[in-house]
Structure 1
Amino acid sequence: MSALPFIPFTRPSFNQETIDAVGEVLRSGWVTSGPKLAEFEATLSDYFGGRPVRCFANGTATMKIALQVAGIGPGDEVITTPISWVATSNVILGVGAKPIFVDIDPRTRNLDLSKIAAAVTPQTKAIMPVYLAGLPVNMDELYAIAKQFNLRVIEDAAQAFGSQWNDKKIGAFGDLVSFSFQANKNLSTVEGGCLVLNNEKEALLAEKLRLQGLTRQGMDGMDVEILGGKDNLTDLNAAIGLHQLKQLPSYQIRRTNLARQYFDAFRAKLKSAGLEHLQLELPVENFTDTNWHMFQVVLPLEQLNVDRAQVMTELKELGIGTGVHYPAITGFSLYKNLGYQASDTPVAQRIGRSILTLPLFPGMADEDIGRVVEALVNILQQHAKK
């Protein structure tokens, strides 16, 4: 094992001000949904240009409730990507609808918009794109397709808080937009998420759905009109989110700087090692739209004598943590048993076997980038086929 400090693939950043804010909430005696949550939702609404925002216990709940707000249910189909955390398609199944997996663009690793039209049927009611690692799809094309086929769009923007399209924040426009605030996200409340909605009618429905369908009537009355769940966010989480939002601009600058260093270091190291012929696929080099939630490479496994697991093991032995985001959903037993075929999305299968998430978080040191790149390139050199 390496004598150097371990570099995890991600680490949340909470400053002392945030820690103090949590203490204040604990001392206040009101720790569940209350004034801090209301403040957080109002601040998020301002961030998204005045659109209604409601927060939830996690990013899975935001997507589930977005589907319910959109009226998606049994017999409906929702087009989505096979490269995502399985929650994306699980929530579609959870409301009784059917996920329709469309293959991905090998360059962006996002839903291939050019293949959506062929997947639309009379049962198709929505598109749920995922913005992998924070990179949005072509939003103009996405919404043109939705308009053409009269479809709702539920944006799984779990990883895209702070990303933008044509100088507009993701979430400040469009249809229903879901974000996650889980521990490894650019803005973290430890667990949580928010849903950006179109109007107050949708926002009121989302409120009912997140807390048992409850409707309050004056000071002493209540009613339950619809079936809801228990998906509310606490004031503890909201207090963290308020301070994270203040730090977001500096986090974004740092993530962008680290990503630039990755590109420069990979080019230099591959050239010096004589490995420019290796088809190591780097992310889209985009410093305008993406928030650099993750830095992911696709390993050239066809040119190596080892698999991804071995590469990850050797990196770990050198004190470097990595992640897999994500294996193709259609390879999971649940989906195979439902009749999904991996062969229907061949690009996703290849990417799912080969993608590797490298360390990227605001607290990384500059020298960590060089250490990660040198370690990975040396491993590729050692195991490259002759």
Structure 2
Amino acid sequence: MEQKFLPLCRPAIEQPEIDAVIEVLKSGWITTGPKNAELENVIKAHTGAQHAVALSSATAGLHLSLVALGIGPGDEVITPSMTWVSTVNLITLVGAKPVFVDVDADTLMTTAERIESLITDKTKLIIPVHYAGAPLDLDAIYALAERYQIPLIEDAAHAIGCEYKGRPIGQTGHCIFSLHAIKNVTTAEGGIFTTNDAQLAERIRRLKFHGLGVDAFDRENQGRAPQAEVIEPGFKYNMPDLCAVLALGQMQRLTRITQQRQKLVAHYRQLLAELPGIRPLQVPEYDHQHCCHLMIIRVEPHLCGFDRDQLISQLKQLNIGAGIHFKACHSQKYYRDHYLSRFGEINPNLQNTEFNSQRICSLPLFPDMQLSDVERVVNAITHFIGTSNET
């Protein structure tokens, strides 16, 4: 009998969130309002950041950060190619040059040494990426940014619930969290910008809603002042309360959500350990708490008898979802066709990025999964290895 479809991911939405959405609908205030303010306060309490701004997406947060920091034509921004393409798209759209830095072969995160090798007098921003639920080695990267006096924004899209040396990600510096449907905490679509810089937070808050001199939801007046002035041209990147309320219940359960993900990943690692040609990402050796956002393996064709794309196809036939996080940005069609003409030669030292881009595969992982679901996935991979090696 055909087994039920096991998706790559499923949001951890429970009845309290459903009830809360209904309450928001009945309240008559469904766009940016009190639930936004509540979510921002919850994120500040969780991360320890002094300021948090709820946004329509993490991509919006990145765009506003680039604008607020004055990044534009002639500037260079160092960031990994091993990331979601929105980062590189926005750097390109503001007229700056994305400078691709390679990553560690086994954690898929960059290092201070790799970043430093690419710094020039045109470098105006560094955007390193926390990957799959593990944190970057931040101390060395922040020391580098401070030494060169270059702003740094942590891409923390994968890092809600993650800690580095006992500190929640978001406690220091500027961070952008994603609350997309696939993430450990979701608002369906959404993001959060955190910082300890009051002026930057104020500008991000202003730019997110048309450049008005007050927030879309004024906390004192319980509404937007009708006489609000446009201080500078802005955008429409505010988060509706209908979305914000979804995250409030999940944040209350974040420890439980993280622990369940950790339990599932530990089971994956145990079962995959003996499979030839299937290599999970390595866990960083420095002190951290992994929030287990993604369960990523690398598929070695010469050892297991098939490549990554074949594995995804086989899993799909067995009603098991899988994904790729991510195809390297510089290998995407636009950047293949236009990077050279727009920006000049690409960094040739991207061997680890290219190796992993061709091999990484994300396996199902979400809090509602059971250990038996993990066993189903691994049994499917084991069977595929067996049949491939027979032919």
* TM-score computed with the length of structure 1 as normaliser: 0.93
1:378 alignment counterpart: 383
Over residues 27-58 of structure 1, what are the superposed CA-to-partner deviations in whole Å (9 max), with x where a residue is unaligned? 11100001111111122112222510001001
Q: Is the 8 A contact 1:66 1:178 kept in 2?
A: no
Residues 226-245 of structure 1: CA deviation (Å, up to 9, x unaligned)? 12110000111111111111
- Structure 2 unpaired stretches of 5+: 216-220
Deviations 1:254-296 (A, max 9, x none): 00111111111112xx2xxxx5xx3422122469422100010
Deviations for 1:166-206, whole angstroms, at most 9, x for unmatched residues? 01000011x21000000010010000000002222111101
Distance 2:210 2:282 in 1: 43
1:23 aligns with 22
Q: Who is 2:317 aligned against?
A: 317
Q: Corresponding residue for 2:86?
A: 87
Q: CA deviation at 1:307?
A: 2.7
Deviations 1:290-334 (Å, cap 9, x if unpaired)? Answer: 210001000012335433221111111122110011111111121
Look up the SS of the partner of 1:73 in the other structure. coil
Alpha-carbon shift at residue 220 of structure 1 (Å): 4.4
Quick check: 7-16 or 69-78, which moved more? 69-78
Aligned-partner Cα distance in 1 for 2:330–2:58: 21
Residue in 2 aligned with 1:178?
176
Residue type matched to 1:59 in 2? A
1:360 counterpart SS class: coil
Instruction: Tell me, yes or no, if the aligned pair for 2:186 and 2:247 is still in contact at 8 Å.
Output: yes
Match of residue 5 from structure 2: 6
Q: Which residue type is aligned with residue 349 of structure 1? A: E
Cα pair distance change 1:318/1:342, threshold 3 Å? farther
Question: Offset at 1:76?
Answer: 1.1
Aligned to 2:212: 214
Q: Percent identity?
A: 34
Deviation sequence 1:334-362 (CA, Å, 0-9, x none) = 11212164854122111001000001110
Q: Deviations over 1:129-165 (max 9, x none)?
A: 1112121110111111111211111111001101010
TM-score by length of 2: 0.91
Q: Report the residue type matching 1:203 in the other structure.
A: A
Q: Which residue of 2 aligns with 1:242?
A: 248
- Counterpart of 1:280? 278
Letter in 1 for 2:313: T
- Structure 1 counterpart SS, 2:268: helix
Alignment length (residue pairs): 376
Assess if the C-alpha contact under 8 Å between 1:67 and 1:154 holds in 2.
no
The equivalent of 2:105 in structure 1 is 106
Match of 1:255 in 2: 261
- CA distance in 2 between counterparts of 1:323 and 1:368 reads 17
Pair 1:20–1:233, CA change in 2 (3 A): same
Letter in 2 for 1:182: H
Contact 1:305 1:385 in 2 (8 A): no
1:318-333 to structure 2, matched below 5 A, reads: 318-333=318-333
Report what 2:218 is aligned to.
none
Q: Is the 8 A contact 2:39 2:248 kept in 1?
A: yes
Post-superposition Cα deviations, 1:100-141, rounded to whole Å, max 9, x if no partner, equal: 001111011112432211101100011101112121110111
Counterpart residue type for residue 257 of structure 1: K
Query: What is the letter of the counterpart of residue 181 of structure 2?
Result: A
For 2:262 and 2:334, how far apart are their aligned partners in 1?
37
> Matched residues in 2 for 1:342 and 1:72: separation?
21
Q: Does 1:131 align with 2:130?
A: yes
Q: What is the identity, as a one-letter code, of the residue corresponding to 1:338?
A: Y
Partner Cα separation in structure 2 for residue 216 and residue 149 of structure 1? 34
Distance 1:209 1:122 in 2: 28
Q: Which residue of 2 aligns with 1:369?
A: 374
Conserved 8 A contact 2:180-2:190: yes
Counterparts of 1:78 and 1:65 in 2: how far apart (Å)? 15
Q: Give the distance between the partners of 1:331 and 1:264, measured in 2 at CA.
A: 33
RMSD: 1.9
Tell me how far apart the structure 2 counterparts of residues 231 and 125 of structure 1 sit (CA, whole Å): 24
Q: Distance in 2 between matches of 1:261 and 1:11?
A: 19
Provide structure 1 residue ranges, at least 5 long, that are not aligned to the other structure: none
- Partner residue of 2:238 out of 232, 239, 245: 232
